[in-house]
């Protein structure tokens, strides 16, 4: 049956799109986990919903409006959390709930888009079109290239931003560029896992990588590997048992994390200390 | 206290004011190149703020800072001459880096984009680890080091900043036991001699650091005294800054006679 699954065009597209998005998220999750940006990720991903709704209302491509909106909200969250004065979790809590509420209010005014709400929130990987693949591939390549070319700079900031600044690195630029990459990736992931579940792909692969390794090189490798296995496993299971594909991918990622958490030779709870 | 062209650090009338609360007021002093200088004062005296003003991390409300004759931002951008060891608390995270990785990361700012670490970068990093007597720990995970070893690794990272001329350390001995504190200061004194570095250390433990620093600057919001370590230690300025008598600062043992 698994062989038959690959004979369908939509499954091939789902697989290619899913792999691209999951590898991109896994790469980004490496920095999200090292820099502890996971809650900012929640804020950004939920805000994309407001951007989608805005696009529907204005009659423009909702993915474009979602990207612009998510980037702006990412910068606003970044600005307020760096400025201090109020705890980061409070500002993010305000941002993500209010931008989501904004989206719900806008969609309630619209007559036509309600049917697709579920797929926006939880993904619809089987509906990925060839044009979507090009978009994911193109934007994903840009984000991937950014992370690859500035890898050591981002790593230095992840380890100790203050020292990186004294070392002459443009830490503000790197921080906001990373948030921008997160916002773009969130929007690219909407069809694969949806707004609510994308956070899982921005955190779990690197959390698995961290469990399995003591050095960042292996952490990165295991992050990418677990992201890849999650999408292959998740898609296969969702096809075989007719399950929601995005959620199944996330559950696979979580399952791999639990295995790593329990049995990692370095950090697992059953590891010899 | 007069500024000279050879000064590594020059502060003139620096004030830092948050709202209507002055953290630092009218701080003026200079540090000659090649000196080991300690900024001392009680907790909450504004020592770390002063250090961050020197590093360009906090803009002063008024006054000027010059590092080797340039503004801090310019010195950082053009010369990569400043190594910084922040307070340890910022590093108490379980991060997956080896000691060698961390030392190499100190070099990133000076390398420029689109390059990965070369053999020369690694050789320099090894040399810096050797200078702090930590080369045998190069491959160990950073979170397995003791407090003293971690600080040495951070010093090696600071030395990797490119072309180090000034080393700035914020309370390097917090959480380090006394024998290792001695070792840490010995390392700094050797670096000063070997590399001709200017060293600036913030410490609240004036007794220990006075054995090693050439000069001390005593702060408690305002400047209290600046001079060679011995004179500063026995000045009324220190007693005034710590709001405590000399005998009590150093202790004479319960029931003992103040000497």
CA A253 to chain centre: 13
Residue B47's pLDDT band (boundaries 50, 70, 90)?
very high
In chain B, residues 157-216 whose CB comes closer than 8 Å to chain A: 157-158, 161-162, 168
* B227 in A contact zone (CB under 8 Å): no
What pLDDT, in 10s, does the model give residues B184-232? Answer: 999 999 999 999 999 999 988 888 888 899 999 998 888 877 878 777 7
Tens-place pLDDT, residues B87-120:
876 566 678 999 999 999 999 999 988 889 999 9
Q: CATH number for the domain including A181?
A: 1.10.3470.10
- Asked if A168 and B98 come within 8 Å (Cβ–Cβ), the reply is no
Q: Establish if A190 belongs to a structural domain.
A: yes
The closest CB to that of B113, out of A150, A159, A165, belongs to: A150
Are A156 and B82 a contacting pair at CB < 8 A? no
Nearest to B105 among A150, A155, A168 (CB): A155
pLDDT-derived band at B79 (thresholds 50, 70, 90) equals confident
Q: What pLDDT sits at residue B1?
A: 43
User: What does the alpha-carbon distance between residue B50 and residue A102 come to, in Å, rounded to a whole number?
Assistant: 45
Contact A216 B111 (CB under 8 A): no
- The first and second tokens of residue A252, run together, are 């696979």
B80 touches chain A (CB under 8 A): yes
Decide if A271 is inside a domain. no
Whether pLDDT at B12 is above 80: yes
Q: Is the pLDDT of residue B246 over 70?
A: no
Task: List CB contacts (< 8 A) between A215 and chain B.
Answer: 96-98, 101, 141
- CB contact, 8 Å: B19 with chain A? no
| B250 min Cα distance to partner chain A (Å) | 34
CB-nearest to A167 from B95, B96, B161 is: B161
Residues of chain A with pLDDT > 70: what percent?
97
Q: Is residue A46, in this structure, part of any structural domain at all? A: yes
Shortest distance between the Cα of B84 and any Cα of chain A, in A, equals: 6
Q: Is residue A225 a part of any domain in this protein?
A: yes
In this prediction, residue A66 has a pLDDT band, given cuts at 50, 70 and 90, of very high
Question: Under DSSP, is residue B114 helix (H, G, I), strand (E, B) or coil?
Answer: coil
The pLDDT score that the predictor gives to residue B259 is 46
Decide if A199 is inside a domain: yes
Residue with more model confidence, B248 or A61: A61
On the question of pLDDT at A115 being above 60, the answer is no
Query: Which of B80, B91, B98 minimises the CB distance to A160?
Result: B91
Instruction: With a cut of 50, say whether residue A208 has pLDDT above it.
Output: yes
Q: Looking at the predicted structure, is the pLDDT value of residue A80 above 60?
A: yes
pLDDT tens digits, B156-181: 999 999 889 999 999 998 888 888 89
Residue numbers of the domain that contains A150: 2-263
pLDDT score recorded for residue A101: 93
Q: What percent of chain B has pLDDT over 70?
A: 90
Domain for residue A269, yes or no?
no
- Best mutation target among B57, B70, B82, B97 (most A Cβ atoms within 10 Å) is B97
Mean pLDDT of A246-257: 95
Taking a C-beta distance cutoff of 8 angstroms, is the pair A125, A244 a contact? Answer: no
Chain B residue numbers with beta carbons less than 8 Å from the beta carbon of A169 are: 108-109
Contacts of A154 in chain B (CB under 8 A): none
Q: What are B126-156's pLDDT values in tens digits?
A: 999 999 999 999 999 998 888 889 999 999 9
Judge whether A270 lies within some domain: no
In B, minimum Cα distance to A164 occurs at B109
Residue B242 has pLDDT above 80, yes or no: no
Inform me whether the pLDDT recorded for B248 exceeds 70. Answer: no
Q: What is the mean pLDDT of residues A187-212?
A: 92
Residues forming a β-bridge with B66: B10
**Residue B86 and residue A150: Cβ atoms within 8 Å?**
no
Mean pLDDT of chain A: 90
Nearest to B101 among A150, A210, A216 (CB): A216
Residue A168 lies in a domain: yes
Concatenating the DSSP letter of every residue in chain A gives -HHHHTTSHHHHHHHHHHHHHHHHHHHHHHHHHHTT-HHHHHHHHHHHHHHHHHHHHHTS-HHHHHHHHHHHHHHHHHHHHHH-SS-HHHHHHHHHHHHHHHHHHHHHH-SSGGGGHHHHHH--GGG--HHHHHHHHHHHHHHHHHHHHTHHHHHHHHH-HHHHHHTT--HHHHHHHHHHHHHHHHHHTTTTTHHHHHHHHHHHHHHHHHHH-SSHHHHHHHHHHHHHHHHHHHHHHHHHHT--HHHHHHHHHHHHHHHHHHH-TTT-TTS--
How many structural domains is chain A composed of?
1
Give B2's pLDDT tier (boundaries 50, 70, 90). Answer: very low
Nearest CA in chain A to B84: A163
User: Does any CB of chain A come closer than 8 Å to the CB of residue B58?
Assistant: no
**ipTM exceeding cut-off 0.90 for this assembly:** no
A173 pLDDT exceeds 90?
Answer: yes
Subunit contact A163:B86, Cβ cutoff 8 A? yes
Chain B residues closer than 8 Å to A153 by CB: 108, 113
Q: Which domains does chain B have, with CATH numbers?
A: 7-81+163-249 (3.40.50.300), 97-162 (no CATH)
């Amino acid at each position: 049956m698994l062989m038959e699954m690959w004979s369908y065009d939509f499954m091939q597209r789902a697989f290619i799109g899913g792999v691209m998005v999951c590898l991109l998220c896994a790469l980004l999750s490496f920095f999200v986990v090292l820099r502890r940006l996971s809650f900012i990720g929640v804020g950004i991903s939920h805000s994309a919903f407001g951007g989608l709704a805005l696009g529907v209302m204005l009659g423009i491509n909702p993915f474009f409006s979602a990207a612009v909106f998510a980037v702006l909200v990412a910068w606003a969250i970044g600005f307020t959390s760096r400025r201090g004065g109020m705890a980061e979790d409070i500002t993010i809590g305000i941002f993500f709930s209010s931008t989501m509420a904004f989206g719900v209010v806008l969609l309630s005014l619209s007559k036509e888009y309600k049917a697709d709400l579920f797929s926006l929130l939880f993904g619809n990987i089987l509906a990925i079109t060839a044009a979507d693949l090009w978009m994911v591939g193109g934007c994903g390549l840009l984000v991937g290239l950014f992370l690859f070319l500035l890898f050591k700079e981002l790593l230095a900031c992840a380890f100790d931003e203050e020292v990186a600044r004294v070392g002459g690195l443009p830490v503000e630029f790197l921080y906001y560029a990373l948030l921008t990459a997160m916002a773009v990736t969130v929007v690219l992931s909407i069809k694969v896992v949806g707004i609510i579940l994308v956070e899982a792909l921005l955190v779990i692969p690197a959390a698995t990588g961290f469990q399995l390794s003591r050095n960042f090189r292996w952490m990165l490798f295991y992050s990418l590997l677990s992201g890849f296995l999650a999408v292959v496993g998740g898609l296969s299971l969702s096809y075989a048992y007719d399950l929601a594909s995005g959620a199944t991918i996330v559950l696979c990622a979580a399952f791999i994390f639990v295995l790593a958490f329990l049995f990692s030779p370095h950090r697992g709870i059953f590891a010899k200390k | 206290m007069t500024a000279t062209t050879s000064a590594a650090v020059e502060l003139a009338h620096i004030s830092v004011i948050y709202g209507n609360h002055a953290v630092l007021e009218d701080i003026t002093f200079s540090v000659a190149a090649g000196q080991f200088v300690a900024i001392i004062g009680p907790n909450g005296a504004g020592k770390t703020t002063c250090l961050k003003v020197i590093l360009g991390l906090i803009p002063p409300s008024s006054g000027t800072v010059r590092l080797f004759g340039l503004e801090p931002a310019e010195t950082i951008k053009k010369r990569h001459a400043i190594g910084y060891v922040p307070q340890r608390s910022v590093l108490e995270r379980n991060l997956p880096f080896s000691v060698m990785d961390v030392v190499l990361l100190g070099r990133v700012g000076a390398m420029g984009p689109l390059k990965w670490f070369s053999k020369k970068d690694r050789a320099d990093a090894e040399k810096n680890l050797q200078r702090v007597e930590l080369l045998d720990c190069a491959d160990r995970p950073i979170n397995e080091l003791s407090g003293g070893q971690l600080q040495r690794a951070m010093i090696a990272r600071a030395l990797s900043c490119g072309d180090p001329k000034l080393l700035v350390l914020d309370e390097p001995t917090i959480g380090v036991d006394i024998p290792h504190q001695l070792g840490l200061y010995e390392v700094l004194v050797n670096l000063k001699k070997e590399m001709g570095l200017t060293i600036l250390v913030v410490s609240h433990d004036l007794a220990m650091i006075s054995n090693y620093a050439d000069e001390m600057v005593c702060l408690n919001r305002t400047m209290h005294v600046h001079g060679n370590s011995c004179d500063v230690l026995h000045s009324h300025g220190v007693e005034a800054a710590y709001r405590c008598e000399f005998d009590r600062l150093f202790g004479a043992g319960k029931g003992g006679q103040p000497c």
